[in-house]
Amino acid sequence: MNAARGHGRPAVFLDRDGVLNEDSGYVGRPEAVRWLPGVPRALAALRRAGWLLVVVSNQSGIARGYFDHKAVDALHAWMNAQLRPLGAQLDAFYYCPHHPDIGGPCACRKPAPGLLLRAAAELSIALDQSWMIGDKMSDAAAGRAAGCRPILIGTAPAAGDSPPLLHAPDLAAAARLILNGAPLPPVPDL
């Protein structure tokens, strides 16, 4: 099976900070998580439609010594414990712990596509049938470099987008784009 050739499972890759939760800077503990509106119902709708949900996140707070792998893994387990009762759990979390100023360049910090490529290989994801949702151009660039269709959320379309990018105000709107306008289930916010 070769994910790059379109076999395998379709996935929605999700940036974390600024997409699932507020990006307040180096979110490393559950107490710092503020979920964004509409996130549980967007994730639940995508799950019900058969999309694999994979978080791909730059976490340079590890390189900077603000928190460690264990804390990030614990945070992700906590996030899924919150989401699971709502049918909105995430299937996998991939993150880049590096920062170029500290350890030099790496292949996984977005805009590089390394996290998406690793997930595709490990989870048999068909990249050309998959989406990447993020709130920064580096997310869109990583999605494109991996062969996915990017959606940029939280910002208005820019005249300079080249090639033109799909934009949505938030994750719920991005999910509706992927689901061709289908209504989202009545799942409460966190």
Residues placed in the known binding site:
15-17, 23-26, 57-60, 96, 98, 106, 108-110, 135-136
Question: Is residue 15 among the annotated active site residues?
Answer: yes
135 binds Mg ion (CB under 5 A): yes
Give every CB contact of residue 28 below 8 A, 6+ residues apart in sequence.
61, 66, 67, 71, 72, 75
> Which of 3, 14, 17, 60 lies at the binding interface for Mg ion (CB under 5 A)?
17
Please check whether residue 45 is in contact with residue 185, taking contact to mean a CB–CB distance below 8 angstroms: yes
Using CA atoms, how far apart are residues 141 and 49, in angstroms rounded to an integer?
A: 26
Tell me the closest approach of the beta carbon of residue 146 to Mg ion, in angstroms: 17
Tell me the closest approach of the beta carbon of residue 38 to Mg ion, in angstroms: 16
> Which of 18, 38, 143, 150 lies at the binding interface for Mg ion (CB under 5 A)?
18
Q: Residues touching Mg ion: how many (CB under 5 A)?
A: 4
15 binds Mg ion (CB under 5 A): yes
CB closer to Mg ion, 15 vs 79: 15
CB closer to Mg ion, 8 vs 114: 114
Structure tokens at 62: 């590890």
Tell me the closest approach of the beta carbon of residue 102 to Mg ion, in angstroms: 20
143 binds Mg ion (CB under 5 A): no
Question: Is residue 189 among the annotated active site residues?
Answer: no
- Report which residue type is found at 3: A
Which element (helix H / strand E) includes 143?
A: helix 137-146
Tell me the closest approach of the beta carbon of residue 14 to Mg ion, in angstroms: 10
Which candidate, 145, 139, 99, 146, places its Cα nearest to that of 119? 146
Using CA atoms, how far apart are residues 49 and 131, in angstroms rounded to an integer?
A: 14
Using CA atoms, how far apart are residues 166 and 63, in angstroms rounded to an integer?
A: 32
- List active site positions: 15, 17
Interaction site with Mg ion (CB under 5 A):
15, 17-18, 135
